[in-house]
Amino acid sequence: MISHTVQTAPIAGQKPGTSGLRKKTAVFREPGYLENFVQCIFDGTGGATGKTYVLGGDGRFFNADAIDVIIRMAAANGAKRLIVGQNGILSTPAASNLIRKYETDGGIILSASHNPGGEDGDFGIKFNAANGGPAPEKITDAIFAKTQEITEYRIADQHAGDIGTIGSFTVGDCRVDVIDPVDDYESLMQKLFDFDAISALFAGGFRICFDAMHAVTGPYATRILEDTLGAPKGSVINAVPSPDFGGGHPDPNPVWARELVAIMESKDAPDFGAASDGDGDRNMIMGKGAFVSPSDSLALLTAYAHLAPAYSGELAGVARSMPTSQAVDLVAEHLGIACYETPTGWKFFGNLLDAGKATLCGEESAGTGSSHIREKDGLWAVLLWLNILACDGRDIVQLRADHWRNFGRNYYSRHDYEEIPTDAAEALIGGLRARLGDLPGTHVAGMEIATADDFTYHDPIDHSLTERQGIRIRFTDGSRLVMRLSGTGTQGATLRVYLERFVDRSGDHDQDVQAALAPVIAAAETLADITRHTGRSRADVIT
Residue 256's contacts (CB-CB under 8 Å, 6 or more residues apart) are 213, 248, 249, 250
What's the pLDDT tens digit per position in 105-127? Answer: 999 999 998 899 999 999 999 99
Torsion sign over Cα 395, 401, 404, 405 = negative
Please tell me the predicted confidence (pLDDT) of residue 276: 97
Eight-class DSSP state of 504: -
What's the pLDDT tens digit per position in 118-156? Answer: 999 999 999 999 999 999 889 999 999 999 999 999 999
Please tell me the predicted confidence (pLDDT) of residue 13: 94
Determine whether 113 is an active site residue. Answer: yes
> What is the secondary structure of 377-414 as a DSSP string?
-HHHHHHHHHHHHHHH-S-HHHHHHHHHHHH-EEEEEE
Average pLDDT, integer, range 518-541 = 93
Characterise 470 by phi-psi region: left (phi > 0), alpha (psi -120 to 50), beta (else).
Answer: left
pLDDT of residue 490 exceeding 80, the answer is no
pLDDT of residue 18 exceeding 80, the answer is no
Domain boundaries, the chain: 3-180, 185-407, 409-542
Torsion angle of the four alpha carbons 275, 280, 283, 287, in this order, in degrees rounded to the nearest 10: 30
Question: How far lies 238's CA from each of 206, 210, 232, 300, in Å?
Answer: 20, 9, 15, 28
Architecture of the domain whose range is 3-180: 3-Layer(aba) Sandwich (3.40)
Please tell me the predicted confidence (pLDDT) of residue 329: 97
Same fold, 3-180 and 409-542: no
Please tell me the predicted confidence (pLDDT) of residue 505: 93
To the question of pTM greater than 0.85 for the whole model, the response is yes
Q: What is the distance between the alpha carbons of residues 404 and 238, in angstroms, rounded to a whole number?
A: 33
Give first-to-last CA distance, the chain, whole Å: 52
User: pLDDT band at residue 19, thresholds of 50, 70 and 90?
Assistant: confident
As a whole number, the mean pLDDT across the chain is 95
Average pLDDT, integer, range 518-526 = 96
Q: What is the distance between the alpha carbons of residues 521 and 322, in angstroms, rounded to a whole number?
A: 19
Q: What is the distance between the alpha carbons of residues 88 and 93, in angstroms, rounded to a whole number?
A: 15
CATH topology of domain 409-542: TATA-Binding Protein (3.30.310)
Buried b (16+ CB within 10 A) or exposed e, 260-273: bbebbeeeebbbbb
Query: Kind and range of the H or E element at 275?
Result: strand 272-276
Which residues face 25 on adjacent strands?
A: none
Please tell me the predicted confidence (pLDDT) of residue 488: 54
* Homologous superfamily, domain 185-407: Alpha-D-Glucose-1,6-Bisphosphate, subunit A, domain 3 (3.40.120.10)
Question: Which residue, among 448, 512, 255, 461, has the nearest Cα to 366 in the 3D structure?
Answer: 255
Q: What is the distance between the alpha carbons of residues 37 and 146, in angstroms, rounded to a whole number?
A: 9
Please give the single-letter amino acid code of residue 363.
E
Question: Which residue, among 6, 363, 330, has the nearest Cα to 150 in the 3D structure?
Answer: 6
Question: Which residue, among 229, 238, 195, has the nearest Cα to 384 in the 3D structure?
Answer: 195
Q: What is the distance between the alpha carbons of residues 94 and 134, in angstroms, rounded to a whole number?
A: 13
Question: Which residue, among 291, 288, 295, has the nearest Cα to 318 in the 3D structure?
Answer: 295
SS3 186: helix
Annotated catalytic residue, options 96, 113, 235, 370 = 113
